A and B are shown apart, each in its own frame.
Chain A
Amino acid sequence: MKKYLFIGLTIIFLSNLAVLGGVMHNRSGEITSQLTLTERELSLPYNMGAEAENSGISVRLNWRVPSEEGNYSTNSRQVKIDKQTLIALGFNESYEGGRRSESLALYWALEFNGVLHRMELQKAARKYGEALLAHKEQPSDETKRIEKRFNEYLTKEKMTNSRLFFVKASANLAALDQEFSGRKDILIVKGLAKTYYNGQNKNYILQLNKFLVPKIMVPLQYTDIFTNLEPIARYKDHEPRYSLKVLWGARLEPWIIEANKLGK
């Protein structure tokens, strides 16, 4: 039995040592990104079902890809890429037969509150302007409905939607680091992506699935600001109610170092 006890304790202690050693390495090494995000980018979880009993708080990172011209969507997770980029990312097969690729873990660069967000704001404002003009010129229920819809888009873009935009994926962290060096608004994380060939448009699509660490745990000392806060449905407009200062370390794993309440 002593043999079993020794092996068992060794397994428990070594595995915990490896995990905690990894955490230390992440947090004591180079800080790869540092951002102060708000509820727009870090939403509260919907604790339903078995999750309702979870007393811990983890916030979910909300990110998006720039919308295409003529298609205003905040939920899209796809970007067009060429074959050369596809191969550089490590998708070494041809998928023109309609087969989807395997998922690959890639390094993603995301821009926070930068040019891409300003472009979305301008686009939403332009769309609203066009809808307003169309309604003035030809008043009808349909033009009123369109005007109202674009007004909502604009309000959301100003107040609620995430300002964290996907910029680029790469299989090489050093290259991505170098490309965006000195940019304080850039976040580099690891995420899963697939690719497939769009036979209709004859182009390759990079399907961005999720971050490898999609949620960030809020330590006990910062949970006070979440007291009495309930998650708000996405379709509702509201000012962000909190901000969290988040660091990403050497292993691109995040942790929270500051939390503040916003608004009243």
Chain B
Amino acid sequence: MNDKPLTQLDAQNRVEQIQAFKQEITQLESDEVFLLSQEQHQKIQNYHHALTNQLSKSFDIDVTSQAKKLTLGMQIASLFGALAMAISLFFLFYQFWGYINTSLQVVILITAPVILLILSLYLSQKENSAYFSKIAALVSFACFVLNLSMLGQIFNITPSPNALFVWAAFSFLLAYACNARLLVFFAIVSLSSFIAMKFGTWNGMYWISFGERPENFFLPSLLIFIIPQLFNHKCFSGFAVIYRVMAMSMIFIPILILSNWGQISYLTWSVGLIEGFYQIGGFLFSAIAIGIGIKRQWKDVVNTGNVFFILFLYTKLFDWWWDWMPKYVFFFVLGLTSLLALVVFKRVRLSCINEDVSA
């Protein structure tokens, strides 16, 4: 082993690599490509056994396929647990805050996220499995959201978009401290909303109405897409995928809306021209996304690009043909376009494989 410090993702990848290696050796031996001696077998097995033991002691990883399936169940349970706990906390406060005086309300609202922050950081260090620290982190974030929003209600404060910036900062902090993907999601939602609100304000609207102009989301989507390129996310499993998929959704959903409702655009062109512009943009950007995804080997980017390309295509076909075509012809044409897309994707895949082989 080299001296480079391993991350949990590295450890998991290494264990999966070992499992794949064992399967391939068995296959090669059964196909009589080559045969390892008993001694070689034993040596490799001992080495792998020791390595797997060491990795599973240091990291919360799945060393068997059964463990991997159980982990997925645990992840789902912790996700629902964390969300339910956060909602429960909100209603708990709502149920009793009317019986508490203002000073005590303030003290509770400030101390709750502090205590849960300390607890989540403590659990993330002490506990081998990080599930409980992630739940504590999400509840801490919920407490902080409750903290600022309830202070707003208690003191009748004018709402401000700055709360979203602070929530984003806190959520990012907890996400990176506890390796919690769900908190990255909330952090991205908060940060993107904040930037979209600010962008809307610069363009003359009141911040709360930021959703009325979908173009407000273009700038945050670009920034969110760039973040995993600027900072190394190797230690944080799945973070980069969340950044990229959310950034792409934030650019493609507004384009999809504007390609059908041009009147809500900032552009002062005729509605037809705006819609046409965004329709072309939708096809172009989703095709570019697929291209970049293939080149950089970002499966998530390719898939998201594919989904939106198909959506743009189907909404356009619906626009053109739904009214005048018999429905059976319309759906037949949809089926044909899917087949055409399949043929294209197959050819692209084949050329990729050929490139790999020749390389």
Q: Write the residues of chain A forming the contact surface with B, with a CB cutoff of 8 angstroms.
A: 1, 4-5, 7-9, 11-13, 15-16, 19-20, 22-23, 26, 50, 53-58, 90, 92, 99, 102-105, 190, 192, 212-213, 215-217, 219-221, 223, 251-255
Among residues of B, the one whose C-beta sits closest to the C-beta of A102 is B205
**Interchain CB contact under 8 A, B95 and A55:** yes
Quote the shortest CB–CB distance from A64 to chain B (angstroms): 21
Task: Confirm or deny: B148 has a beta carbon within 8 angstroms of a beta carbon on chain A.
Answer: yes
One digit per residue, 1 when the CB lies within 8 angstroms of any chain A CB and 0 when it does not, for chain B 69-104 equals 000000000000000000000010011111111100
Number of A-B contacts (CB under 8 A): 120
**Interchain CB contact under 8 A, A1 and B125:** yes
Interface of B, secondary structure class, is helix
Q: Write the residues of chain B forming the contact surface with A, with a CB cutoff of 8 angstroms.
A: 91, 94-102, 106, 110, 113-114, 117-118, 121, 124-125, 144, 147-148, 151-159, 163, 166, 169-170, 173-174, 176-177, 203-206, 208-209, 212, 263
Quote the shortest CB–CB distance from A251 to chain B (angstroms): 7
Of the A-B pairs whose beta carbons lie under 8 Å apart in the complex, a sample of 9, sorted by A's number, is A1-B121, A8-B174, A102-B204, A192-B208, A212-B159, A215-B153, A220-B98, A220-B99, A223-B98
Among residues of A, the one whose C-beta sits closest to the C-beta of B153 is A217
**Interchain CB contact under 8 A, B121 and A9:** no
A103/B170 contact (C-beta < 8 A), A9-B114, A23-B155, A255-B156 known:
no
Q: Report the bound CA distance from A51 to B177 in whole Å.
A: 35
Q: Report the bound CA distance from A19 to B151 in whole Å.
A: 8
**Interchain CB contact under 8 A, A12 and B144:** yes
Quote the shortest CB–CB distance from A211 to chain B (angstroms): 9
Given the complex, which residues of B lie within 8 Å of A190, measured CB to CB? 158
**Interchain CB contact under 8 A, A15 and B148:** yes
Given the complex, which residues of B lie within 8 Å of A254, measured CB to CB? 156
**Interchain CB contact under 8 A, A103 and B113:** no
Interface of A, secondary structure class, is mixed
Given the complex, which residues of B lie within 8 Å of A213, measured CB to CB? 156-158
Q: Report the bound CA distance from A103 to B205 in whole Å.
A: 6
Q: Report the bound CA distance from A58 to B97 in whole Å.
A: 12
Q: Report the bound CA distance from A1 to B155 in whole Å.
A: 34
Among residues of B, the one whose C-beta sits closest to the C-beta of A193 is B206
**Interchain CB contact under 8 A, B102 and A220:** yes
**Interchain CB contact under 8 A, A1 and B263:** no
Q: Report the bound CA distance from A231 to B263 in whole Å.
A: 41
**Interchain CB contact under 8 A, B173 and A12:** no
Quote the shortest CB–CB distance from A48 to chain B (angstroms): 14
Q: Report the bound CA distance from A7 to B205 in whole Å.
A: 33
Q: Report the bound CA distance from A55 to B97 in whole Å.
A: 6
